[in-house]
């Protein structure tokens, strides 16, 4: 699936059950409302969407649709380029990756 804007991507993922917001910190995925701290090894990257931020500087944001082994689904947004879950994606046998 291709998204033109970040809002379109978030709206569609929320509609498909990715309701939680996850954050990346020191090789862990964190969900504050549920007080979860999940090691990156226990995270499945279901989808990766790269979305242009603006036309002038060619900067892109990355939106990850993730699920954790406890059964929760959510999104992790990286606009800084500092989160690199790609190695996790590459090591997963069951993943769905889309770059746009």
The string of pLDDT tens digits covering residues 16-40 is 999 999 999 888 999 998 899 999 8
Position 32 in a domain: yes
Position 97 in a domain: no
Q: So what's the pLDDT on residue 92?
A: 45
Are 12 and 50 within 8 A, CB to CB?
A: no
The string of pLDDT tens digits covering residues 47-77 is 999 887 766 566 778 899 999 988 899 999 8
Position 98 in a domain: no
Position 57 in a domain: yes
How many other CB atoms are there within 10 angstroms of residue 70's CB atom? 10
Position 55 in a domain: yes
Q: What is the mean pLDDT of residues 66-89?
A: 77
Tally of structural domains, the chain: 1
Position 96 in a domain: no
Position 24 in a domain: yes
């Amino acid at each position: 699936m291709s998204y033109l804007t970040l809002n379109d991507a978030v709206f569609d993922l929320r509609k498909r059950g990715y309701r939680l917001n996850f954050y990346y910190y020191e090789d862990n995925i964190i969900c504050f409302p549920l007080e979860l701290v999940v090691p990156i090894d226990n995270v499945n990257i279901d989808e990766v969407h790269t979305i242009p931020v603006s036309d002038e500087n060619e900067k892109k944001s990355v939106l990850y649709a993730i699920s954790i082994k406890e059964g929760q689904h959510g999104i992790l947004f990286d606009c800084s380029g500092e989160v690199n879950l790609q190695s996790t994606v590459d090591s997963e046998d069951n993943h769905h990756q889309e770059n746009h």
